Amino acid sequence: MILEALNYAASWPLTSAAHRLFIRSSVNLWARANRCATAWAEHERRTKAAILAAAEGCRQRRTVVVLGSGLLRDVPVVELSRLFDTVVLVDLVHLASVRGWLAMKRLKNVRLIERDLSGLDPLLDGQPLEPLAFLRQVPYLDLVVSANLLSQIGIGAARRLDGQADKGPLLRQVIGAHVEGLAQVSAETCLVTDISYTVIDRSGGRHETVDLMHGADLGDVRAEWDWPVIPFGEESRDYQILHHVIAR
């Protein structure tokens, strides 16, 4: 708890007022990732491999933008900083622990941007839903990575819309806008996201499966795997929550 409190306190002045609300959830994720490091290791390795495979397919390697860079556990940022002239990391919050790690690595070509990537606010205001339109302003863009972000956009939007009678179409719009935004980028793209989760008991029985994409079509899949986001013992001795991940 002490380390979490210190990370929270150190991140507060480094985060814009509009996004300080999200520091707590980022710190909680940081703590869980540390506790579940062994269970998450294969997922992180496969995510990094998918990103590097996309990087290797780029004809030029000038600028790469990583959407949902988060804790950088699943982003091969050191390798990307060697391959590309500029690495841009975009997320709601960049924790002090992440900033300190980047400083320690002396990755001078890495840039941090705070940004809400959901597009939900403009949608609710009746404006066009183009959450990734800002990518058109990025010069020399050769690769865009969406790193385990899309499901979180859907979860966050669902919380914001809690109590609304039929929020399914709006959630599909928000998720679809992210996928469409990637499709419209004139650069290579890599999408890695968990698309569903299942509650499983120790005998292998499946108790609940939830579609995190709310029926949105993500297109062809190049790779897929399972990620024990909540392994046995994290929240319950008798159940784990297994997320299904795809890369494209």
For the purposes of burial, counting CB atoms within 10 Å of the CB of 198, is it exposed (0-12), middle (13-18) or buried (19 or more)? Answer: middle
Q: Smallest Cα–Cα separation from 132: which of 191, 85, 86?
A: 191
Q: How confident is the model at residue 217 (pLDDT cuts 50, 70, 90)?
A: confident
pLDDT per position as a tens digit, 52-68: 999 999 999 999 999 99
pLDDT per position as a tens digit, 221-231: 999 999 999 99
Residue 90 is given by DSSP the state E
Which CATH architecture describes the domain 37-247? 3-Layer(aba) Sandwich (3.40)
Q: How confident is the model at residue 69 (pLDDT cuts 50, 70, 90)?
A: very high
Number of Cβ within a 10 Å radius of residue 186: 9
pLDDT at 165: 66
pLDDT per position as a tens digit, 90-132: 999 999 999 999 999 999 999 999 999 998 888 888 888 899 9
Taking residues 72-95, what's their average pLDDT? Answer: 98
Q: How confident is the model at residue 24 (pLDDT cuts 50, 70, 90)?
A: very high
What is the Cβ-side half-sphere exposure of residue 93, based on CA atoms within 13 angstroms? Answer: 25
pLDDT at 166 over 80: no
Q: How confident is the model at residue 161 (pLDDT cuts 50, 70, 90)?
A: confident
Q: How confident is the model at residue 173 (pLDDT cuts 50, 70, 90)?
A: very high
What ranges in the chain are assigned the alpha helix state H? 2-11, 23-35, 37-56, 77-83, 96-105, 120-124, 150-160, 168-184
Domain regions of the chain by residue span:
37-247
pLDDT per position as a tens digit, 34-44: 999 999 999 99
Tokens 């814009």 found at: 16
Looking at per-residue confidence, does 192 or 220 come out higher?
A: 192
